[in-house]
Amino acid sequence: PFAFDRLEAIGNIFGKTAFKYVTYLLVEDILPFNHEFFIWIGRAFPLLNIFRVINEESQSCCNLNTFSSDNNRSNPIAEYPHLTVLDLRNTHFGYVEQFLNETKTYLPCLTELTVFYTNLRIATKNFTREETRRNCAKVKQLFMVIPLVHSKDFYLYFPSL
């Protein structure tokens, strides 16, 4: 067992080791991450508190068309029960959609989100999408690249701001 609490520069090619003490994780790769990778991260890092993802490539998924559906419940959900800080500022918008969509990822404690504004707007369908609302509801600090004047729906989406 590893006793460190911080791990950086994890990519797609990584063993299936558990890191039960790691609370900060940075994953970065030039190859896209798939949903199974994030399911594994949730299981391998049970105390993960801060998660930063760097990947500008569109996600690879063999059944991308069916996986993109909001109502598709056949895929397992990536669970991060202790995650409070999520940094997606250097990602393709697909990762923002995956992490905020409750049918794909469970983030019950998320209180700080860093994201590119345009990606957030796309993933939440202009802050009106029900499937992404729950994972955003407890966010108290929202750091956006290129913040703009926000709509009423934006503030309804993030009631804790």
Domain presence at residue 29 = yes
Which residues have a Cβ under 8 Å from the Cβ of 15 and sit 6 or more positions away?
none
Domain presence at residue 6 = no
Domain presence at residue 140 = yes
pLDDT tens digits, 70-96? 555 568 999 999 999 999 999 999 999
Domain presence at residue 13 = no
pLDDT tens digits, 17-30? 888 899 999 999 99
pLDDT tens digits, 102-118? 999 999 999 999 999 99
Q: Report which of 156, 36, 140 is spatially closest to residue 98, judged by C-alpha positions.
A: 36
Domain presence at residue 61 = no
Domain presence at residue 74 = yes
Give this prediction's pTM.
0.85
Domain presence at residue 9 = no
Number of domains in the chain: 1
* Domain boundaries, position 98: 18-55+68-157
